[in-house]
Amino acid sequence: MTTLPDLETTARDFLLELHRSTEGNPDAQVSMYMIGEAFGLDRDASTAVAEDLMAHGLVEIRTLAGAIGLSDQGADLMADGPDNSGGDGLRLGTTSPLTASQCEGVDALLTQLKSELGQSGLAFEALSEMIADIRTIETQMTSPSPKTIIVRECFTSMLQTAIANRQMEWQHLMEGLLG
């Protein structure tokens, strides 16, 4: 499978811009020419870069007018790829099941959260919500094919709890994870 470091700089930048423009959604589409314009490529150069990414299986053509989108493989790669917002790089993405590296990242994040829960000062109700969400994720992670949507919903619930209880570090972690 292709990784980000395998790509030439222009192709990597193009893919990162496509990911940003579509918010990582493999169902979204955007003009390849608009993506290329974002860093000074003309129509021919944009087409060439998009075709290269299609050959790697990371991008799909959506319309004859030049609309493209992330393929499932491209969405998975970007979910595992570098985090441009300053986080640790873990992104859940939208495709199921979770990849091995996503599972490892989720496990590491759960370990961190569990170690900090006791000192968090959360009220009983908020603490109970967090524990229920953590247990749900842990149960899902025992599946041979952990479902992304279930894990995302639990982390979304934990994000709301973190926001409501002013747990800024947790909020930052959850926002980075959810993209």
pLDDT in tens, 8-40: 878 888 898 898 888 888 899 999 999 988 778
Q: Angle formed by the axes of helices 100-117 and 124-141, to 10°? A: 150
pLDDT of residue 114: 92
Is the CATH code 1.20.140 the one for domain 100-178? no
Domain borders along the chain are 4-80, 100-178
Asked whether the whole model's pTM tops 0.75, one would answer no
Distances 39 to 14, 53, 149 between C-alpha atoms, Å? 8, 16, 33
Q: pLDDT of 118-144, one tens digit each?
A: 888 899 999 999 999 999 999 999 999
Q: Which of 27, 3, 99 is nearest to 15 (CA)?
A: 3
Classify domain 4-80 by CATH architecture: Orthogonal Bundle (1.10)
Distances 2 to 5, 54, 55, 93, 167 between C-alpha atoms, Å? 8, 12, 11, 17, 37
Q: pLDDT of 66-107, one tens digit each?
A: 999 999 888 888 876 544 333 355 778 778 888 887 888 899
**Quick one: tokens of 83?**
């985090």
| 130, 173 Cβ separation under 8 angstroms | no
Q: Helix/strand/coil (H, E, C) string of 137-154?
A: HHHHHCCCCCCHHHHHHH
**Quick one: tokens of 48?**
């060439």
Same fold: 4-80 with 100-178: no
Which has more confidence, 176 or 79? Answer: 176
158 pLDDT higher than 70: yes
